[in-house]
Chain A
Amino acid sequence: MTESPPPVVIDYTREPIVVVDNLHVIYRVYGGGGGKGTAATALMRILRRQNRPQMKEVHAVRGVSFVAYRGDAIGVIGTNGSGKSTLLKAIAGLLPPARGAVYTQGRPSLLGVNAALMRDLSGERNIILGCLAMGLSPEETRAKYDEIVKFADLKPGFIHYPMSAYSSGMGARLRFAIAAARTHDVLLIDEALATGDAKFRKRSKAKINELRRDAGAVFLVAHNLDQVEETCNRVIWLDEGKIRMDGDPKEVIAAYNEAIGK
C-alpha cells in the first residue's frame, strides 16, 4: 500500500536505550460475532478445522524498527488505529511480539489511561496494590501514599469508594498518580495528558517533565500535536502499523498535517 518504511541508521556515537527490531505485534480478541453462533455451526467448524470465527487476530504493528537513544523524548503520532498504543505496549513488554523483538535498558513503564486496575476495590486498595505490584516495598508504599492521593486530587471521600464508582477522568487520574509514583528507566506515556480537566493536565505535564529528567528515554503518544512538538525532540509517524516517517518534530508533523488535512 504505502512506500517502504525508512531504513534504520544506527548512530554509534550515542547510547541506545530502546532498540526495536522488525517488530510485529498480533493480538487476539474474542467475541464480536461472526458465524451463526449455534452448536451445529461450531461443530462443523471444528470438523473442518477452521479457526474460531469469534477469535479475531489484529495485526496492529507490522515490521517497525528504530533505535531510541539516551535523552530522547519521542512523540508517536498517527491516526486512530495506526498502532501507536500497541507499539507502546509492546515496548513495555505487555504485549509479546509475534515476530522481531524489543530490547530495552532496564524495565520500561507504561503510563496509560486505559490501564485499569481493580475495579471492585477501593481507590485506597488500588494505590497500595499498584505500588506493591510495581515492586515498591511496603515502607515505600506507605511513604508514597499521601503523595499519590494528593496528586490524584479526588473528591473528598472517593478514595474509599470502589474504582467502579469513579468517573473515567477520576480513574485515569488515580492510575496516572499511581504509575508516576516510581522512577522509570524507560517511560512510555499514552495519552495520559489528554485525560482530566485543564487543571490536572497542567499538573501532570509538570510531573512528566520531572519524570523525564530521571528516565533514559521518554515516549509520548498524543493527538495534541502542539504538545508533541513542544515536548519531543523526535517524532515517529505510524501509519497502519508501519513507520511512515521518523525525524525532526517540525518536519514530521508538517508532513502528517498535510497527509491528513487534504
Chain B
Amino acid sequence: MSHPDRVGPPGGESVDTIAEPPALAGKSAESLAEFAARHGLTQSAARPPLRTYVRELWQRRTFIWTFASAKSMSMYTSSRLGQVWQVLTPLLNAAVYYLVFGLLLGVNKGVTNYTAFLITGVFVFTFTQRSLTAGARSIGNNLSLIRALHFPRASLPFAHVLVELQQLLISMAVLAVIVLATGEPITWRWLLLVPALALQLIFNMGISLAIARVGAFVRDIQQLLPFITRAWLYFSGIFFMTASLAERDTLRDYPWVGDLLQANPASVYIELVRIALIDSYRGDLAAYGWGYAHLWWYALAWALVAFIGGFWYFYRAEARYGRG
C-alpha cells in the first residue's frame, strides 16, 4: 500500500528511536511507527527538543519558586526550634571550625580578621556543598511526583538549589552582622556581593543538574558525596589563605599548586565574597602580591561551563528519569 499524501513527521521532532517491526497483519505494509508519524503523533516518553524544553522550564518558573519556598518552610517543621535552625546551623558550624582552626591549630597566618575570613568561607562553601547534596537526591526523593505529573525534570534540581539559596541569604544576613561586629567598614564593594553570589548560584545549578542525573541512576553517589565535599572543603582555602600556603617552603618550587588551588571554583567564589565584604582582606592579599581581578573571569567561566555542561548532561537523560 502506498501513500502519496504521506508527509514527514511534523516539526522535525519525535521518532528518534526506531522501534522493532510490530506484529502486523499481512494486510498492510505500513508500520505502526510510520502510521503514527503520518498522523503527527509524537512519542510520549521522548525527550522534547531543547527549545521546547527550555520554554516549558521557563513556563514552570512559578512552580520552581513555589516548590522551593514550600520545601524550605517544611524543612525544619519537625524540630522544636523550627526555622531558628536556618541561622543556628551555619553559626554552629562556624563556631566549631573557629575553635579547631582558629584557636587550637592557629592557621590564621597572614589574615587580619580571621573570624570574618573563616565564617565567610564556611557560609559560601556550604551553599555549594548543600546544592550538590540536594541535587544528588532531587530525582530520587521526588519519584512519586515525577511519576504522577508531567513537567520538565530539571525543575527539581533548580528548586533544590533555590532552597539552598534561601538558606544562603539568611546566612549572608548573619555574616553581615559578624563582619560589621569584627570592625570592618561598609564600602561600595559590598555591592559586588550580588554578582559574586549570582555567578555562584549559576555554577551551583550546573553542578547540581549534573549530579542529579548521576544520583538518579547510581545511588552509590550519595554514600560517596560526603567524602567528595569534605575533600573539596579542605582544598578550598577556607581555614587558611591559599596565598600563604603557596608561599610555604614545601610548595615554593611548585607554583602550579597555588595556581590550581586558586582556580578551584569553590575557592574562587569564596575569595570574591571575602574581597567584597572584608576590607582588611584586600590588604592581606596585597601583602602576598596576589591580585584578584582575574578571579572574576574564573568565576564567570566556571559558571558558564558548569551551567551549560550540567544542563546539557541532565537534559540528555530527560526521558529516563523515574525509571527505578
**Chain B contacts for A103, CB-based, 8 A:** 14, 32-33, 36-37, 41-44
B145 at the interface (CB under 8 A from A): yes
Pair A121/B74 contact, Cβ less than 8 Å: yes
User: Which of B22-30, B92-100, B130-138, B181-189 lies at the interface with chain A?
Assistant: B22-30
Q: With A and B bound together, what is the CA distance between A20 and B42 in angstroms?
A: 11
Using Cβ atoms and an 8 Å threshold, which residues of chain B touch A115? 144, 147-149
Residues in B whose Cβ lies below 8 Å from that of A112: 148
Tell me how far the C-beta of A135 lies from the nearest C-beta in chain B, rounded to whole angstroms: 6
Does A71 touch B at the CB level, under 8 Å?
A: no
Is A105 in contact with B40, judged by CB distance below 8 angstroms?
yes
- Which stretch of B59-67, B241-249, B280-288 is in the interface? B59-67
Contact call B23/A22, Cβ cutoff below 8 A: yes
Interface string of B1-37 (1 = CB under 8 A from A): 0000000000000110101111111011011110111
**Taking A22-B23, A95-B322 as contacts, is the C-beta distance between A117 and B144 under 8 angstroms?**
yes
| B31 & A21 in contact (Cβ 8 Å cutoff) | yes
The residues of A that contact B31 with a CB separation of less than 8 Å are: 21
A88 to B179, CA, bound (A): 58
Q: Within the complex, what minimum Cβ distance (angstroms) separates A147 from chain B? A: 18
Residues of B within 8 Å of A196, CB to CB, are: none
A90 surroundings in chain B (CB, below 8 A): 45
Which residues of A in the span 1-54 have a Cβ within 8 Å of any Cβ on B? 4-5, 7-10, 15-22, 27-30
A109 at interface, CB cutoff 8 A: yes
- A109 and B150 contact, CB distance less than 8 A: yes
Contact of B70 among A15, A95, A125 (CB under 8 A): A125
B15 to chain A minimum Cβ distance, whole angstroms, is 8
B316 within 8 A of A: no
A104 touches B (CB below 8 Å): yes
| Shortest Cβ gap from A99 to chain B (Å) | 6
Q: How far is the CB of B83 from chain A (nearest CB, A)?
A: 15
CB-based nearest B residue for A120: B74
Distance in angstroms between the alpha carbons of A113 and B145 in the assembled complex: 13
A residues less than 8 Å from B20 (CB atoms):
22, 99-100
Is A173 positioned at the interface, with any CB of B under 8 Å from its CB? Answer: no
What residues of chain B lie closer than 8 Å to A22, measured between beta carbons?
19-23, 32
A7, A9, A110: most-surrounded residue (chain B CB, <10 A) = A7
- Which residues of A have CB within 8 Å of B144? 115-117
What is the CA–CA distance of A36 and B210 in the complex, to the nearest angstrom? 34
Q: Does B251 contact A (CB under 8 A)?
A: no
> Would A96 and B41 be within 8 Å (CB), given that A8-B25, A101-B17, A112-B148 are in contact?
no
Chain A 101-131 per-residue mask, 1 if CB under 8 angstroms from chain B, else 0:
1111101111010011110110001001110
Q: Are A21 and B32 in contact (CB under 8 A)?
A: yes
Q: Report how far A117 CA is from B219 CA in the complex, Å.
A: 22
Contact check, A130 vs B19: say whether CB atoms are below 8 A apart. no
Q: In the complex, A222 Cα to B324 Cα: how many Å?
A: 25
Known: A101-B19, A115-B144, A129-B63. A93 touches B44 (CB 8 A): yes
A179 / chain B contacts, CB cutoff of 8 Å: 148-149
Bound complex: CA of A95 vs CA of B150, how far in Å? 11
Decide: B60 and A133 in contact? CB cutoff 8 A. yes
Partner of B39, one of A16, A101, A125: A16
Contact of A107 among B14, B21, B44, B70 (CB under 8 A): B44
10 closest residue pairs by CB, A with B? A28-B324, A115-B148, A103-B36, A93-B44, A132-B63, A103-B41, A19-B36, A21-B32, A116-B144, A7-B25
A-B contact pairs, 24 of them (CB 8 A): A19-B39, A22-B19, A22-B21, A22-B32, A28-B323, A29-B324, A30-B324, A91-B44, A96-B323, A101-B17, A102-B44, A103-B33, A103-B37, A104-B41, A112-B148, A115-B144, A120-B74, A125-B66, A129-B70, A132-B67, A133-B145, A133-B149, A134-B150, A135-B59
Binding site for A on B (CB under 8 A): 14-15, 17, 19-25, 27-28, 30-33, 35-37, 39-46, 56, 59-60, 62-63, 66-67, 70, 74, 77, 142, 144-151, 155, 219, 319-320, 322-324
Residues of A within 8 A of B (CB): 4-5, 7-10, 15-22, 27-30, 55, 63, 65, 67, 89-97, 99-105, 107-110, 112, 115-118, 120-121, 125, 128-130, 132-135, 137-138, 162, 175, 179
